[in-house]
Amino acid sequence: MTSSPDPQSATLFLDPAQPLADRVADLVGRMTLEEKLGQLVFNAPAIPRLGIPAYNWWGEALHGIARNGRATVFPQAIGMAATWDPALIEQVASAISDEGRAKYHATLRRYGETGHYQGLTFWSPNINIFRDPRWGRGQETWGEDPFLTGAMGAAFVRGLQGDDPRYLKSAACAKHYAVHSGPESKRHEFNAEVSARDLHTTYLPAFKKLVTEAKVEAVMGAYNRTNGEACCASELLLVDILRGAWGFGGHVVSDCWALNDLHTTHGVTADGAESAALAVKRGCDLECGQTFEHLGEALDRGLLSEGDIDRAVTRIYTTRFKLGMFDPQEMVPYASIPESVINSDAHRQLAYEAALKSVVLLKNAGDILPLRDLRSLYVLGPTAASAEVLMGNYYGFSDSLTTLIEGIVARTPEGVRFEYRPGTLLLHVPANPSAWTTMAAARSDVVIACMGLSPQMEGEEGDAIESPATGDRTEIGLPAVQADYLRELKANGSRIVLVLTGGSAIALGDIADLADAILFVWYPGQEGGRAVADILFGVASPSGKLPLTFPRSLDQLPPFEEYSMAGRTYRYATETPQFPFGFGLGYTRFVYRGVQASDQIDADSALAVQVKLTNAGKVDGEEVVQLYLSKVEPAPGDPLYTLVGFQRVAVAAGETRTIAFSLLPDRLAVIDDAGNAAVQPGAYKLIAGGSSPGLRSAALGAATPVEASFMIAE
């Protein structure tokens, strides 16, 4: 039982001069058992006698403050991943948390309390690995590579949480831990079976980086089971790895109503009391849901102790203290952030920069882009005038959304004949069989066809109302009605610039050959129309790189429910994709001129690497220099290639730059079948270029990569 507080320290928990642990212990010690139980749910009630206000832990900030009124809408996470720019992403996340802070304090001033989506605990980022393009929530992730995901996710966490040594600006949350990426329709019952090698090579590294390096404050458990254990009550994931091996000191929250699944669909417990007890004992401290209502019964049945409850309450209240909720506001540096930051000019400009750097140029036959010397322009397609495709999912709201058509209109020079028609629909065959657009469009110099996917077609369970698979995609090609329309356009002689929206890979098939140029723009946020137009007209140069592989068809993919990495992503797939991981063209030409590295290193030594990069074109540009590692003789189960470094660099026309990398031993380590990491002796190759290695990249016009060999000594 908890001891009574010392009368001599009646205000200890309110004294900012006292150590954090002592303050939390004092406050928890003042709570009754009933009060403590009430605090372990996301919508925690007030404790008036202690002066503790109600607090709702559920907040969302995936690519901007979500579901809480006005906010800057940045590109969807998968689009931000395509920037390959951690420094930019940290700025974006800092802007997001500035807006969250401003909203939180404004709400407190107005109402004296905050509600749902109005707190400082944000359940972002989603750092699950996007292993299969059918997963509707893949748009929320940072792509298919664990190293890229970890780097970008860590930057996002640093931006959300701030750099004050005492206070958090907001509390970030790494989700969904772990081995979680569909199918959505089975997430409440699914058991993801994965080898120790795949677990530690692919599914856990990003979580480890966010916990051990970025010091993320919270981790959210996934709905599914992993190797038979429910993720929100897993001894392996929560006890052995998260708290044990990684030393996580924050709090764990369940996904919403996931604990109910323990006894209803997973069958790992018999009833709600057993589920609640198991979750708390394994280290789930906070519930989004209602199963913790059975904690009192669990205590009565001896399934857990009050000490278990105290541990959980201590963890979540440590977060609240770090956020400054019990200190004078003048002590908390983030409490004075003004409301004027919300969707400010500076934040809109940051959203524009993120959108600009996220756009990936997949094709540019005959250098049709950027558009010049036009006499006539025809814009069509179901996404051209759509605000939906700007926002993705988990979005906020802005009064300054710029659609694709608005951006293009603003950039089109006066004197150019300009027409717009929707032309076709996203998914359904138009009811009117008469369509004039295909012949009319052919009379224009260029057709900009705005096509692709929308958040209605892919997303979370219950959100994507046009998905027949509870948010997932059953096909990964361009919807047939759009593909047929593009074929008709081409048959009538149109020169087509295809602008594709979407949150996942689209297998274009023959459409990739029909289009003269292809831009993939993701769900680009409120400034998406302006950014895309500036790239189309050459005000800016495209520099985004794919954070995931675009396969040719479903035939190149293993079954959706198979979680083995064999045959998946650029690291393990042997099939030739349509567009490879890391690929993206620009309006200039980069040349890689050599990799310099030591011929031999010891297993405990860092490897210094230098790459020379020349902008051999006539315009300034930005390139993402990518460095990959490969064993000369890979063993069964080893990745074919592993991304070990990347840098986004600006290079003026005609300039040569030397790009330096330092690869610490952990970047050179290989995971064995038991899940253990070790630097293995042998012969290795380093490949540097503007895309992942493979013949397909060169065929698409990527810069020729350069490579060097080295040995790791016995």
570: phi then psi, degrees, rounded to nearest 5: -60, -20
Which residues are 500's β-sheet partners?
451, 520
CA 259 distance to own-chain centroid? 24
Burial label for 110, CB within 10 Å (0-12, 13-18, 19+), is exposed
Token pair, residue 322, equals 């770090």
Say how far apart CA 418 and CA 702 lie, in whole Å: 33
DSSP label of 255: P
Is residue 570 within 8 A of residue 639, CB to CB? The reply is no
Instruction: Please give the order of strands across the beta sheet that includes 621-631.
Output: 600-601, 706-712, 682-689, 621-631, 642-651
Residues labelled as active-site residues = 255, 458
Is residue 506 within 8 A of residue 458, CB to CB? The reply is no
Buried b or exposed e, range 70-87, using 16+ CB within 10 angstroms: bbbbbbbbbbbbbbbbbe
Neighbours of 279 (CB within 10 A): 32
Say how far apart CA 623 and CA 650 lie, in whole Å: 7
Question: For strand 607-615 and strand 590-597, is the pairing parallel, antiparallel, or unpaired?
Answer: antiparallel
Q: Who's near 447: CB < 8 A, 6+ residues apart? A: 378, 379, 380, 441, 489, 494, 495, 496, 497
